Amino acid sequence: MQKELINVKNVYYPPGGILIWIIIFLELFTFGMALIAMIFYSKDEPEIFHNSRLLLNTTFGAVNTVFLLTSGFFMAKSVDSFRENNIKKTALFLRWTLLGGFLFLVLKSVEYYFKIENGYTINYSTFFSFYWMLTLFHVIHVIVGIVILLSVYFGIKKPIVRTSIEDFEASAAFWHMCDLIWLLLFPIIYLLF
């Protein structure tokens, strides 16, 4: 009878390594606390929060949700392709992932432009203070995610020092964290109040 060895690293370490998951936990905790604070403050100013929320473009928020979820799907497909050592498909799926990220940033920039044009800045109301703080912090994460994905994209094309599966999975985990954070922000900021 043949015994199958279990790779201890695979059992105890999540995809991408433990460090990326510590970072993800801390990021989710930070956003979660800020969202709880926003909800807490909304209890003191329900009318202001409601009226301010009505100034948001929920269509932009919904389309951005589609952009991020679609890019997350392609990120998952790129990880699968990378595991199969299909670099051509991996690169294709990464390009689609990056496109979703770039489209998110373009639409978010348009949304920010209209907010600033109409005077809905960070000082407009408590709601908009939270709106700007949370969405800009998320945009920074998306930009960092795009930089990481570009690094991975060019890393998989190098024949000598190629990106490792752990680095690839860590990048995917970070990108999915950006999706998850948006899935928390969109309903609370755009729909709740």
pTM of the model: 0.89
| Whole-number pLDDT of residue 14 | 77
Classified by CATH at the fold level, domain 16-192 comes out as Four Helix Bundle (Hemerythrin (Met), subunit A) (1.20.120)
Residue 17 CA to residue 37 CA, distance in Å, equals 31
| Whole-number pLDDT of residue 160 | 61
75-111 confidence digits (pLDDT tens): 999 999 999 989 999 999 999 999 999 999 999 999 9
| Whole-number pLDDT of residue 12 | 62
DSSP 3: P
Distances from the Cα of 51 to the Cα of 43, 64, 117, 123, 193, angstroms = 14, 22, 18, 15, 8
What is the crossing angle of helices 18-44 and 165-185, to 10°? 10
- Please give the structure tokens belonging to residue 24: 């993800």
| Whole-number pLDDT of residue 45 | 95
| Whole-number pLDDT of residue 156 | 87
Q: Which portions of the chain are predicted below pLDDT 70?
A: 1-12, 159-162
Residue 121 CA to residue 113 CA, distance in Å, equals 10
- Please give the structure tokens belonging to residue 161: 């020092």
